[in-house]
Amino acid sequence: MSATPSVAGWSGAAWRDAWRVWVGSEVPGWIFVAKTTFAALLALWIAFRLGFDSPRSSMLTVFIVAQPQTGLVLAKSFYRALGTIAGSLATLLLVGLFAQQRELFLAALSLWVGLCTAGAALYRNFRAYAFVLAGYTACLIGFPSALHPETVFNTAVFRVSEVMLGILCAGVVTDLVLPQALGAGLVTMIRGSYREFLGFVTGALRGRLDHGSMERSHDHFVANVIALEAQRDAAYFESPDARVRSDRLRLLNAGYMSSTTSIHMLHQTMQRLRRRECHHALQRLAALYEALAIELMPEEGVMPATAAEAAPLVQRIAAFRDDLPRRIAAARAALEHTADATELLDFDSAAELLQRFTEEMHEYTVSYVALARPGTRAHKPAPPYVAHADWITAALSGARAVVALLSLSAFWIATAWPSGAGAATIACVFCCLFASAPAPVLALRGLSIGFVWGLLAAFICGLLVLPQLDGFLLLAAGMTPFIMVGIKLVTNPKTAGIGVGYSIMFGNIIGVENVTRFDPLPILNDGFASLLGASVAALVFALLVPVDSRRLRRHLVRSLRRQVLMACFGGLGGLRHRFENSTRDLLGQLLAGADRVGGEDRQLLGRTLSVLETGHAIIDLREAAAIGTLSVGSRAALNACIRGLARLFEKPSEQLRRQALEGVTRATDRIETAMQAEGIDTAERTGLRRGRVGLHLLRTLLLDDETFRALSAVENPAIAAPGASHAA
């Protein structure tokens, strides 16, 4: 007998629970499928009525910009429109310059596509999508126009019109028919991030988190920062309220980043004190940490569920911040009787970091609570999010696109294959689209599978179903099941790549035009051309400096270490935020392709946190060097120390490490002398004190062999010698 209860034995409550589970998991996906199908058929019908050259382009545009949330659709549509217009204008220029020279035109077009692909690799989110569209729109218009230059203007106008119609239909249907606002998910994400971070902070302050938990939490924080920025960027297009809140969300994200870095620096300082057995300083600091933890969340306290519930925290943190100097002074006075000068400096450094973290936690909470007040703007200017731009990676992406396009263009010319232009266009699309993907070959494999199924579906629909139907309503009814299959595949993350490939191939090959021809030869020609284009794109990604190659990974890991140079020489205005943003963004790129089973993600995270700690200490030092009343000799010593650190992190060696330590020692003596001078106001004394703390942190980092190895290694073992652990 089976132990599993039969369906007939289910109670009414069980059926209701099963129904609720199905509704919650499946209904949103089917709503998206229905809306996208309706929008695609609406765009197709309007394109027929307006007499566009290629009505299927409008339908295909709907497939491409389709997203479940309104904000994502509008953001993608906006940048698609910009890219389409830019690509059309570029094509007009290129055809005007090289109309009579086919080879020169194709070379210039390839160069344009390469530049667009490089731009797509440099930018994040939907901004990259504008470069993708600018590249392959030029191919879509340029290839037909190369054969008939006199038609280029009409082709460009129709292309822009078809794309704009698809964008309009997708946006209107998404926004008016059972809309799913991005803002609701954004609110849930922000609340969850604040609660998680508050729990993390109180656990860290009370010493309840082990090293593994700290690493996993920081990994999660990096993902949250990047995801929040992407959602904020898309939500900007959704509603006026989202645009008003945009600056406050950027401010919130900035506070989130700086707070996570400060709590890490605080935790690392305590760990170093424990390794050096500074028990007296640890005891005094632990009492201060516990006091802050109680203010943030008392034992058995209730975690704030919303921004409004977190409002009392603002006053509590502010009161603790204002009283903290008195507490620190009392703790230091008690410590002076039992600790030596080095341990007192350790205490001062940890206490300064605690003050900094308290201030940043207050700012973060203020930004979070402000979100509960609709219609108000940020309480201070919000710094922009600065992504890491790697020009070498971008140049390689552009080179791949140029090679793919030139290769297929040469094949097209040599064979006079009617569908050769289609193969070149598809290769261009995929080279642009996956320019910054962590595993482009794997993604292209899924798309190619979708291409095969989409070609089969287009063959069946176009040659067996549509010839039996008459009129648009029957045409729509015949196409609907095939369209819905592709969109439903997109709703499942495991089959999304296959669904995208299926929808693109089906929409492109089905061949519904004003004068439709039911001929299998063009369908097969165009289908094989698309498969060839995808294959060539995969080939250049696999052979031309692969994205996951050891050499390219080494370059990116080396770039992570050289972020310290930004802290050394970048303009001081907004430097701390730019440094934090770009370093975390670079880590996000590295983690996307990291070997998590082999522990590469933990090594990268450890290195990044050390880079952030070092960079912030250097910025403190530079701010101290910028104090107006500082003597010329003191400023020269501080700047010499910074240059020594820059040389060390440009090309690490033991000799440069010793020289950097000597420079830190000289700069520390100068800071101590400057702090004893008369006539220094409170702001300058605070800056000097932070500079002294920065120097002490730098000295500690340079003396710590484990930290220095993580900072200075050219590449981590997981990259340098995959499988080396098995060599024995």
For residue 718, the model assigns a pLDDT of 39
Cα 478 from Cα 491, distance rounded (Å)? 22
The structure tokens 């600018």 sit at: 134
* Structure-block tokens of residue 307: 């921004």
Q: CB burial class (10 A; 0-12, 13-18, 19+) of residue 201?
A: buried
Long-range pairs of 720-727 with CB within 8 A, sequence gap ≥ 24: 720/550, 720/554, 722/550, 722/595, 722/598
Across 47-64, b (16+ Cβ under 10 Å) vs e yields: bbeeebbbbbbbbbbbbb
Cα 120 from Cα 434, distance rounded (Å)? 9
Amino acid of residue 252: L
For residue 190, the model assigns a pLDDT of 87
Cα 258 from Cα 202, distance rounded (Å)? 17
Q: Which residues have a Cβ under 8 Å from the Cβ of 570 and sit 6 or more positions away?
A: 578, 579
Cα 59 from Cα 507, distance rounded (Å)? 7
Cα 226 from Cα 338, distance rounded (Å)? 46
* Structure-block tokens of residue 435: 């320019």
What 3-state DSSP class applies to 471? coil
DSSP state at residue 69: S
Cα 207 from Cα 321, distance rounded (Å)? 21
Give the architecture-level CATH label for domain 182-237+239-370.
Up-down Bundle (1.20)
Cα 421 from Cα 159, distance rounded (Å)? 16
Q: Answer whether 321's CB lies under 8 Å from 383's CB.
A: no
- How many CB atoms lie under 10 A from the CB of residue 414? 9
List the chain residues with pLDDT less than 50.
1-5, 7, 714-728
Q: Answer whether 355's CB lies under 8 Å from 325's CB.
A: yes
For residue 336, the model assigns a pLDDT of 83
The structure tokens 């059926």 sit at: 15
For residue 321, the model assigns a pLDDT of 92
The percent of residues in the chain predicted with pLDDT above 90, rounded, is: 7
For residue 46, the model assigns a pLDDT of 93
Residue-wise DSSP of 540-597? HHHHSS-TT-HHHHHHHHHHHHTHHHHHHHS-STTHHHHHHHHHHHHHHHHHHT--TT
The structure tokens 């070149």 sit at: 424
Q: Answer whether 331's CB lies under 8 Å from 346's CB.
A: no
Across 594-613, b (16+ Cβ under 10 Å) vs e yields: bbeebebbbbbbbbbbbbbb
Cα 691 from Cα 683, distance rounded (Å)? 12
Q: CB burial class (10 A; 0-12, 13-18, 19+) of residue 691?
A: buried
For residue 323, the model assigns a pLDDT of 93
| Inter-helix orientation angle 211-235/600-625, to 10° | 70
Q: Which of 14, 35, 145 lies closest to 92, judged by CA?
A: 145
Helix or strand run (H / E) with residue 328: helix 311-335
Domain boundaries, the chain: 29-180+388-543, 182-237+239-370, 560-718
For residue 427, the model assigns a pLDDT of 86
Angle at 117 (CA atoms; ends 388, 168), nearest 5 degrees: 100
Q: Answer whether 541's CB lies under 8 Å from 547's CB.
A: yes
